[in-house]
Chains A and B, each alone.
Chain A
Amino acid sequence: MNEPLPPSRSELPCGNETALPTAPGLRKLFGGLGLTILTALPISALAEETQEQPRRGGVIDTIIQPEPPGLVLGMIQNAPTRTVAGNIYEGLLRYTTDLEPIPQLAESWDVSEDGKVYTFHLRENVLWHDGEPFTAADAVFSADVFHRELNPSARAVLEHVESIEAPDDHTVVFTLKQPFGPFLLSFEAGTFTMVPKHIYEGTDFRNNDANNHPIGTGPFKFDSWDRGTVIKLTRNEDYYEEDLPYLDGVNWHIIPDGASRAVAYENGTVDVLPYGTVENFDVPRLSELDNTCSTEQGHEYFSPFAMLWMNNRHGPMTDKRFRQAVMYAMDREFARDVLWNGMGQVPLGAFGSNARFQNEDLTPYDYDPDRARELLDEMGYDGTEVTLLPVPYGETWTRWAEAVQQNLKEVGINVRTVATDVGGWNQRLAERDYDLAFTYLYQYGDPALGISRSYLSTNTAAGSPWNNVEGYANPKVDELFNAAATAHPDSEREALYHEVQEILQEDVPLGWLLELGFPTIYRCNVKNLVNSAVGVNEGFRDAWIDE
């Protein structure tokens, strides 16, 4: 549904749960620390950490890359806006790293037996940053008016909604047209932001003066923005959670050069490097600095999944044996270990490991160049040249394209890489002017939100680089995905999704490359920074600085 891509170069807003073979509890605490750190950190230190009393005070300096175009979430949903403004604005719900909903502005919620009526009970003592109370009227306005007009990702969810009502000041009722399995996963702050009705109602939203001074309900207030230099947030003294936030403020430094960002951490100017702010090749070096911790957690909600579009409409890609051959020919473990420093996970198939309803019985496409050659012989591939479009976000992606090109050449596929920039890449994908192309998509926890969009034949209209770009069309797959989205309860959904995964595994509409892992690197005395499925996007709420 929604791909907040950074506009420029190397930096990817990403991260993923690690595949470290630790017990689940430990794994949560450690996140995806590099193994070196894992062994270097004594368990006793961790036990201590959990007992320590959070300390009030202090300002954290961190980095936002690239500079966001604006800070009004709901109006803008790209990655840097989500990261900064996720600490200013809030949604009705938050999510644990296991993608379980937990209260944010909604204190509790009920779902009707038939899965069609969702009732949210809102917190009562919440104030907007300008002092006005937050009520159910704001929630209805945000969902029914503001997002319907401005927010394509919320719009896709709202299609399932029949009505939104506020029976009293602190209750919101969503009535759906039919059950929609992932509905409770849609209320994250970045996707379904609560915006103040008293400021936006009846105005031209995009030209509202308040856009330069965002007003939310979150733990931090907007303080100032020196364009090109720094965005400052300060503590919301009236925040509804007593004692929170512990910090006095957060400064988001804007540093356009990757090497300079690494230096800023090294020389102590910044203390937190959110996912994707430094180049991959700097990660091992920075992780080994003194007092440095890192985690791959905090991206479970997004779970970025790198893929290889294969244009099903023309050339050898129309033959599924060719597409299977590509899967067998690619050494994805090598790409992960060498290009991504071992971070991330080689996916089994179309459903990533964080997605619900993954079918674990599928046969994986292991690296097998011989099998690839066989398939190519069998289909009678004549050596037609195919083009390969890398993601124009920096060195890692360029090298990755070269690695894939070499893999494919080894089995006899004639590949030419095409270089382009972000604008050109977007356009070529939107116009389907490619043979093979790298991309990555967010999964949003549920197949109906983040996965089915790439395979539904009803979602192939040219003009978007994020829908069914490969042009795959299979009526059976459409039927299964559509039925699964609205099936109720979950056990029914599971059966349908398991079936659709078997078909996709055989058809390979596109290449499944890697569930990307991006670390958040920080000083170890910054505590409790990554504590939910969106990590630093809202993590400063609970973070604190130890002496």
Chain B
Amino acid sequence: MVYARLILLRLFKAAIVLLMIIIFNFLLIQLAPGDPAAIMAGEAGAADEAFIAQLRERFGLDQPLYVQLWKYVSGILSLDFGYSYRQQMPVLDLILDRLPATLLLTGTAFVLSLVLGIVAGSMAAMRARKPSGSVIMALALLFYATPLFWVALMAVVLFSVYLDWLPAYGMFTVGANLQGLDLVLDIALHLILPATTLGLFFMAVYTRMTRTSMLEAAQQDYVKTARAKGLAPGVIQRRHILRNALLPIITLAGLQAGQMVGGAILTETVFAWPGIGRLMHEALVQRDYNLLLGVFFFSAAMVILFNIITDLIYRIADPRIKEASA
């Protein structure tokens, strides 16, 4: 009951925030120099006024800004995201077409970084004063500090060019026409490099945070009590220390999860992964406003959604929060 009311309230707030984001994005985008008609004319080499006027009229860019805004917002309310100027397809189709690829990539990276990060962080916390703990932390610091695109390029050079173990780019082998399990394996193989690259940074962050947070929790009185009760060290680690150390990690995971739609531009570009990030970058360069706004909308919705989910998970992880807000 409490959950239902809470969720409803949050969804209502979310809708208002989303509407504001749409309007703000729409206005912000107008500040960029150049418009899609001019860019498309430029590409086509049309030194011809008629051509540009034709395009502007077709895209509705010849109308006053407030009319364009009104049309856009009322369109979205009926789930019509408009038409991509450049790709000549409905924006929703384009986005839904690319969404699975991106979610597969970012979702894998998310799970990978979260699980490995927490495991590595716990190990580092338990070995805080041993060399093995320092090695983990040194690696975490290295990945934390290394730029993503560099890691990506180096991974390609090492694993694809030198060792020839993994495919360098793409989501599946073009021209192989694989089916069923073979296709799944093929995609999995293509997924390894980009997902690892994308996950490394957050893995490092989780590792560092888990360690710090666990060391802090280990100082608490209830841990001493648990020890005094004679509980096994493993149980204390998991149930008393780790669980209490999880809150900041959940916060961070919520942030990372919110970036799942639009957060992989670099990785998708380097690895030619056919996802949303690339779609967004191309739309930006080509001033394909409708498409860009559509991607912005989905990214914003994702962030809001994961904020809500994070809040709910807080309550499960730490029942004290529920009592405080109820």
* B214 sits at the interface (CB 8 A): no
Interface size bracket, B side:
35 or more
Is A466 in contact with B45, judged by CB distance below 8 angstroms? yes
* A67 sits at the interface (CB 8 A): yes
- Interface 1/0s, chain A 267-290, versus B by CB < 8 A? 101000000000000000000000
Known: A206-B88, A263-B169, A461-B49. A424 touches B34 (CB 8 A): yes
Query: Chain A contacts of B32 at CB under 8 A?
Result: 423-424
Query: Chain B contacts of A321 at CB under 8 A?
Result: none
Is A152 in contact with B285, judged by CB distance below 8 angstroms? no
- Chain B nearest Cβ from A93, distance in angstroms: 20
Is B156 in contact with A260, judged by CB distance below 8 angstroms? yes
- Interface 1/0s, chain B 51-88, versus A by CB < 8 A? 11000001000000000000000000000000000111
- Interface 9-mer from A17-25, A32-40, A221-229, A237-245: A221-229
Is A255 in contact with B272, judged by CB distance below 8 angstroms? yes
Query: Chain B contacts of A467 at CB under 8 A?
Result: 47
Is B39 in contact with A2, judged by CB distance below 8 angstroms? no
Contact of B33 among A5, A59, A427, A442 (CB under 8 A): A427
Is B39 in contact with A228, judged by CB distance below 8 angstroms? no
Please, how many angstroms separate the alpha-carbon atoms of A305 and B69 in the complex? 41
Is B52 in contact with A463, judged by CB distance below 8 angstroms? yes
Number of interface residues of A (CB under 8 A): 62
- Interface 9-mer from A70-78, A138-146, A336-344: A70-78
* B254 sits at the interface (CB 8 A): no
Contact of A211 among B88, B156, B270, B275 (CB under 8 A): B88
Query: Chain A contacts of B34 at CB under 8 A?
Result: 422-424, 426-427
Is B45 in contact with A1, judged by CB distance below 8 angstroms? yes
Please, how many angstroms separate the alpha-carbon atoms of A525 and B268 in the complex? 32
- Chain A nearest Cβ from B136, distance in angstroms: 31
Interface centre among A232, A421, A442 (most CB of B within 10 A): A421
Known: A7-B285, A152-B51, A423-B39. A260 touches B88 (CB 8 A): no
Question: Which residue of A is nearest B40, CB measured?
Answer: A69
Question: Which residue of A is nearest B287, CB measured?
Answer: A423
Is B161 in contact with A267, judged by CB distance below 8 angstroms? yes
* B44 sits at the interface (CB 8 A): yes
Known: A422-B39, A426-B34. A229 touches B44 (CB 8 A): no
* B208 sits at the interface (CB 8 A): no
Query: Chain A contacts of B279 at CB under 8 A?
Result: 228
Query: Chain A contacts of B171 at CB under 8 A?
Result: 229
Is A423 in contact with B285, judged by CB distance below 8 angstroms? yes
Is A253 in contact with B174, judged by CB distance below 8 angstroms? yes
In the complex, chain A residues 349-408 whose Cβ is within 8 Å of any chain B Cβ: none
Please, how many angstroms separate the alpha-carbon atoms of A266 and B162 in the complex? 10
Known: A266-B161, A423-B32, A423-B34. A251 touches B174 (CB 8 A): yes
Residues of B participating in the A interface, judged by any CB pair closer than 8 Å: 32-35, 38-52, 58, 86-88, 94, 97-98, 101, 153, 156-157, 160-161, 164, 167-172, 174-175, 268-272, 274-275, 278-279, 282, 285-287
Given pairs A3-B45, A253-B174, 20 additional interface contacts (CB within 8 A): A2-B44, A9-B285, A69-B40, A69-B87, A227-B94, A227-B97, A228-B101, A228-B274, A228-B278, A229-B170, A229-B172, A251-B175, A255-B169, A256-B278, A260-B271, A263-B168, A264-B169, A422-B34, A423-B39, A427-B35
- 10 A-B pairs with the lowest CB-CB distances in the bound complex, closest first: A423-B34, A228-B274, A3-B45, A152-B48, A2-B45, A152-B46, A78-B43, A427-B34, A424-B33, A466-B47
